[in-house]
Amino acid sequence: MASDPEHPSLSSLGKVGKYSGEIGGLEEPLINGGHGPKNYSVAAAILPFLFPALGGLLYGYDIGATSCATISVESATLSGISWYDLSSVEIGLITSGSLYGALIGSLLAFNVADFLGRRRELILAAVLYFVGALVTALAPDLPVMVIGRLVFGIGIGLAMHAAPMYIAETAPSKIRGRLISLKEFFIVLGMVGGYGFGSLLVDIVAGWRYMYGASTPLAVIMGIGMWWLPASPRWLLLRAIQGKGNMQELKETAICCLRRVRGPVFGDSAPEQVDEILAELSYVGEEKEATLSEMFKGKCLKALIIGAGLVLFQQITGQPSVLYYAASILQSAGFSAASDATRVSILLGLLKLIMTGAAVLVVDRLGRRPLLLGGVSGMVISLFLLGSYYLFLDNVPVVAVAALLLYVGCYQISFGPIGWLMISEIFPLRLRGRGLSIAVLVNFGANALVTFAFSPLKALLGAAILFYIFGAIAVLSLLFIFFVVGILLYSFIHVGRKPMLGGANGVVGERLDGVVGTTRRGCRRAVVDGVVMIVNVESGEGKGKLGSSGTLSTTQGLDEVGEAQNKVHREASLAGQVGGGRGKSALTL
C-alpha cells in the first residue's frame, strides 16, 4: 500500500525504522515518536506529567488522610468539636462524601470534557480541590463538612478523567507507558503521604482539620502549573478536524504547544508532526463525534461489559472499606492507640507502593488475566482470614495485620492497575473518552456505595459477617474474570486467522493501522494497531537469533489489510525466525 497524503503509511503510524526495534506508541498515534533517535527533552517532558499527576496524588492523599481523620473527628478529647458523637451513617457520609462528589464529576466529564479540553478540565479540578479542602478543614458543623467533601470529590472525578488523557497526549511515545504507570504510582504515593501525615496529627486536638487543610498548597501548585502548561496538541487538532475552530489557527497553536511539551530538541519537526497527526486523526474517523448509543452496540458493548464489570468488582470486593477504614480496622484489631493504628496504615501504604511498581514490571510479561486471577485469589483468602479473625481469632491481632497486608498486595497486582489498563486497551479510539467516563462513573459510584455502607453494615451485621460477604463477592469476581472476561476477550481476538510465515498461525484483526517492532527480553515484538488485543506467536521447531516468541498487540485500525498483513507476517517471522518450522498461536490475555 503506497503512502499518500490522505492515507498515512504504516511507517508513519508506527514511526520506527524498518529494523529499529523500537516501539512507536502504546495505543494510538497521539504524538508520534519518530524524527530521530531522540525527539524530546527529558526536562520538557517532566512538567506536562508532573502537574496532572498531582491530581492523582491529591486523590490518594484524601484516601489516606480520611482513614486517620475518621478517628480524630470521633474522639471526645481530640476532635475539638461539640458534634463529635457521630453515628455510623454520619461517618459514612464523611468518608464517602468525596466519592459521591467524584460521581458527580464523572457525569460532568462525560458531557463537558471535550468542550473544555484536558488542560482546562484539570485547572477546574485544581480549583475544586482547593475549595473543597478549605471548606472541609474550616467546617463549623457536619453538613458543611460533607459539602466540602462533595466539592473536593467533584475535583477528583474531573482530575481522574483528564489527567491520563493529558499525559498520554503530550508524552513522548518512548516513555508514555512509564509515565501513565507513574500516574498510578502518584496515587499510591499520595495514600502513603496521607497515612503518614495523619499519623503525625491524629493525637493533636482538631488534627483532622490540619489533615484536610494540608492538601490546599498542592491544589494551588497544580492549578498554577496547569495554567502555565499548554493545551494538548491532539485536542486542538481534534477540534480542528471536527470544525470547532479555525483550522489554520488551531494548527499553529498546536505547533507551539508541541514545541513546548517536547522542548527545543524537537526543532523544526513540529509542523510535520502536526500534519501527520491531522492525517491520522482523519483517517481513523475522528472527525465524527461519538454518540452514547454507540457505546451499547457490538464490540463497544463487549468492551463496556469487561470494563464496567472489572471496576465494579474492583470496588464491591471491599477495597474502599479496607483503604478508608484501615486505621479503624487495625484499632479494633488490638492497636488501641490511634497513633499505633495509623502507623500500621503507613505500612499498608508502603506495601501498596511496592506492589504497584512490581505490577508495572511484570504485567506485560505475565499477561492481564493471569495476574487478575492470581491476585483476586489472594484477596479471597485475605477476606476470609479477616472474617475469621473477627469471629474466633480476635486474640491474635497479627492475623488482622497479615490479612490486610495480603489483601493490599494482591489487590495492587490485580484489580488495582490492570482493570484500568484493560479499559484503556479494549475501547475503540473514537469512543475511548466516553468509555473511560462510564468506567469512572461506575468506579466511583460503587466506591461511594461500599464506603458509605461499610460502617452501618459493620454495626448491623458485625465485621466477621461483612468480610465473609466481601470474600463471597470476590469468589464471584473470580468467576467473572475466568469465564465472562475470558470469553469476551476471545471473541475480540478471534476475528480472523491468517497464515503467518513459516507455517505459524497468527490472529489478524479486521482492520490494521501499522506495525512496529521492539526488543524486549531478547524477543522481537510486533505491535499492530488493529482490533485484536494480544496474541503470542511461538516458533515451534524454528530457532531465531532474536528469540522464540513475539507478541501481536492490536487495538483498532484501518480498512485495508493487504500490505499491513504482509508486514505483520514479516514481523512475526522475525519474532521467532520460524522458517520452515511448525508454529502455533496462543492467547496471552
- Shortest CA distance to 123 belongs to which of 44, 259, 219? 219
Q: What angle do CA 385, 476, 95 make, to 5 degrees?
A: 65
Side-chain-side CA neighbours of residue 395 (13 Å)? 1
Q: Residue 157 forms beta bridges with which residues?
A: none
Single residue among 278, 298, 329 that ends a domain in this structure: 278
pLDDT tens figures, 301-328? 888 888 889 989 988 998 877 766 666 6
Please count the other Cβ atoms lying within 10 Å of the Cβ belonging to residue 386: 29
Q: What is the mean pLDDT of residues 502-508?
A: 31
Strand order in the sheet with 584-587: 515-520, 523-528, 549-553, 534-538, 584-587
pLDDT above 80 for 125: yes
Distance between CA atoms of 72 and 305, rounded to whole angstroms? 40
**Domain shared by 198 and 216, yes or no:** yes
Between β-strands 534-538 and 584-587, what pairing exists: parallel, antiparallel or unpaired?
antiparallel
In a domain, residue 2? The reply is no
Q: Give every CB contact of residue 160 below 8 A, 6+ residues apart in sequence.
A: 55, 56, 59, 102, 105, 106, 440
| Whole-angstrom distance, CA of residue 152 vs CA of residue 134 | 9
Same domain, 46 and 155: yes
More confident position, 489 or 17: 489
Report CA Rg, the chain. Answer: 25
Q: Quick one: cell of 50? A: 508532573
- Name the pTM for this structure: 0.69
Domain count, the chain: 3
Residues 510 and 487 in one domain: no
Residue 337 lies in a domain: yes
Half-sphere exposure of 18 (CA within 13 A, CB side): 2
CA distance 180 to 529: 19
Q: Please check whether residue 402 lies inside any domain of the structure.
A: yes
Q: Which domain holds residue 566?
A: 497-587
| Domain co-membership, 76 together with 147 | yes
Q: Among the three residues 278, 302, 333, which one is the final residue of a domain in this structure? A: 278
98 and 241 together in one domain: yes
327 contact partners, CB below 8 Å, separation of at least 6: 67, 68, 70, 71, 195, 198, 202, 338, 341, 342, 344, 345
In a shared domain, residues 505 and 481: no
Phi, psi for residue 534 in degrees, rounded to 5? -135, 130
CB under 8 Å, gap of 24 or more: what pairs does 323-326 form?
323/63, 323/67, 323/191, 324/63, 324/66, 324/67, 324/70, 324/95, 324/451, 324/454, 325/67, 325/70, 325/95, 325/454, 325/455, 326/67, 326/195, 326/404
Out of 474, 493, 512, pick the residue that ends a domain: 493
For residues 23 and 16, the answer to whether their CB atoms sit within 8 Å is yes
Would 11 be classed as within a structural domain?
A: no
Beta-bridge partners for 536: 551, 586
Q: Is residue 284 part of a domain?
A: no
344 in the same domain as 224: no
Give the percent of the chain with pLDDT over 70. 63
Cα(412)–Cα(303) distance, integer angstroms: 22
283 within domain boundaries:
no
In this model, does residue 377 exceed pLDDT 80?
A: yes
Q: Are residues 256 and 341 in the same domain?
A: no
Task: Report the range of poorest mean pLDDT among 119-128, 383-392, 500-509.
Answer: 500-509
- Range with the largest mean pLDDT of 47-56, 217-226, 347-356: 217-226
Task: Kindly state the cell numbers that stand for 114.
Answer: 471535550
Size of the chain in residues: 589
- At residue 129, the pLDDT reads 97
Closest alpha carbon to 119 in 230, 32, 37, 199 = 230
What lies within 8 Å, CB to CB, of 566 at 6+ separation is: none
- Is it the case that residue 413 has pLDDT exceeding 60? yes
Do residues 444 and 103 lie in contact, with contact meaning Cβ atoms separated by under 8 Å? yes
Same domain assignment for residues 115 and 203: yes
Same domain, 45 and 75: yes
| Secondary structure (H, E, C), 219-257 | HHHHHHHHHHCCCCHHHHHHHHHCCCCCHHHHHHHHHHH
Domain assignment present for residue 13? The answer is no
Give counts: helices (H), strands (E), the chain. Answer: 22, 7
- 258 & 367 share domain: no
Q: Is residue 21 part of a domain?
A: no
Percent of the chain topping pLDDT 90:
19
d(C-alpha 64, C-alpha 206), whole Å: 17
Rounded to whole angstroms, the Cα distance separating 204 from 159 reads: 31
In the prediction, which pLDDT does 303 show?
84
Are 549 and 504 a contacting pair, CB within 8 Å?
A: no
Cβ burial, residue 507 (10 Å; 0-12/13-18/19+): buried
Q: Could you tell me whether strands 505-507 and 549-553 are parallel, antiparallel, or unpaired per DSSP bridges?
A: unpaired
**Average pLDDT rounded to a whole number, residues 506-534:** 31
Look at residue 565 in the predicted model and tell me its pLDDT. 41
In angstroms, rounded to a whole number, what is the distance separating the alpha carbons of residues 479 and 489?
Answer: 15
How many Å apart are CA 566 and CA 82, to the nearest integer?
Answer: 74
CATH number of 335's domain: 1.20.1250.20
Q: Read off the pLDDT of residues 482-497 as tens digits, 9 standing for 90 and up.
A: 888 877 766 554 443 3
| 509 in the same domain as 486 | no
Q: How far apart are CA 342 and CA 17, in angstroms?
A: 53
Please say if the pLDDT value at position 554 is more than 50: no
